[in-house]
Amino acid sequence: MSDQATLAEVLTVEHHAIDAGIEKFVAASPGGPIGEWSAPLVQAMAALRRHIYLEEELVFPSLRNGPLMMPIMVMLNEHGEMWRRMAALDEQLAADGVDQEPLRSEVAAACTEMLGLLADHNSKEEPVIYPHLDSDMDDDSRAFLRDFLDDGTTPDGWECARAAA
């Protein structure tokens, strides 16, 4: 991603990449090692966890003391729901026979529900929150976020604010 891209554009691209990874998994037929089949989903969930981390730790704190307080509360609640669904998906993927019926259809259905949650979340976050990234975050916060986007990783053991229902 070039430096020309706005932060709003970069985070929107992340949304699309995460969706695409989950969609690829849903569309794929199992075959070969289980790890190869599940890789797009595992990678998409790692990307989503990192995305939620950077929003909650590097973006929202800069924006929540203003008119975005309530929308950010909604975003935090939805992140919590996604976080719990990802934990459930991890369990499903670890089960024996997940690449065979009926478990395969169950994990695909859970992924389709996840895609619905993401679509609903992103359809609010992109127009309501993201326009403020490039205009309302201070220079240091924006620079820190750009550095993190390059090569930052979710800290071990980090959980989103509303991981517990």
DSSP single-letter state for residue 98? T
Residues 37-56 within binding reach of Fe ion (CB under 5 A): 55
Minimum Å gap between C-beta 5 and Fe ion is 15
Q: How far is the CB of 126 from Fe ion (least distance, A)?
A: 8
- Smallest gap from residue 15 Cβ to Fe ion (A): 6
Which structure tokens are listed for 126? Answer: 């992109």
- 64-93 footprint of Fe ion as x/- string (CB under 5 A): -----------x------------------
Q: Are 117 and 78 in contact (CB under 8 A)?
A: yes
- Nearer to Fe ion among residue 38 and residue 122 (C-beta): 122
What residues contact 119, with CB distance under 8 A and at least 6 apart?
A: 19
Are 147 and 70 in contact by the 8 Å Cβ rule? The answer is no
Cα separation, 117 vs 77, in Å, equals 12
Nearest-approach distance from CB 136 to Fe ion, in angstroms: 16
Asked if 111 and 41 count as a contact pair (C-beta separation under 8 A), the reply is yes
Q: Which is nearer to Fe ion, 55 or 99 (CB)?
A: 55
Query: Which residues of this protein are in contact with Fe ion, per CB under 5 A?
Result: 55, 75, 125
